[in-house]
Amino acid sequence: MTEIFKTVLFPIDQSRETREAADVVTNVVKKYSSRLVLLSVVEEPPKDAPSADDPMVSPEVVAKLLSNAQSLFSGQGIQSEILERRGKPAFTICDVADEIGADLIIMGCRGLGLTEEGADDSVTTRVINLSPCPVLIVP
């Protein structure tokens, strides 16, 4: 049974939902002795957007976010790998899940990323629809 979630992907941003999901990630990774991969996606700002206030477009902010998350898990006795990618979050999350052979993606229910189409087409909804593996959504 311990082979079920060998690799867990945890996409992170600066949202409250991500922080709340971290407890679930800790529990799952410890229970199944999983490999934990932390992913943050640096979004390409739309060409017509003014200099965006979105912190997730700053590579420096994203690097610090990943480092802080890695420290948080390290404090729980969990080793993690960090990946930083550029692109559209939902597609990038699913591509990375496929690339690393993730057995599970754990993410918060909302996060910072609503797509241009709005709340009905959130990053979370897109990941659920596109994911190559099960997705655990933490409310």
- Phi and psi at residue 72, to the nearest 5°: -60, -50
Q: Where are the domains of the chain?
A: 7-46+55-137
Q: State the CATH class of domain 7-46+55-137.
A: alpha beta
pLDDT tens by residue, 48-94: 655 555 556 678 888 899 999 999 999 999 999 999 999 999 999 99
CA 66/CA 128 separation, integer angstroms:
23
**Interval 89-127: pLDDT, tens:** 999 999 999 999 999 999 988 655 544 445 556 888 999
Q: Tell whether the model's pLDDT for residue 129 goes beyond 60.
A: yes
pLDDT, residue 139, reads 86
What mean pLDDT is predicted for residues 39-51?
73
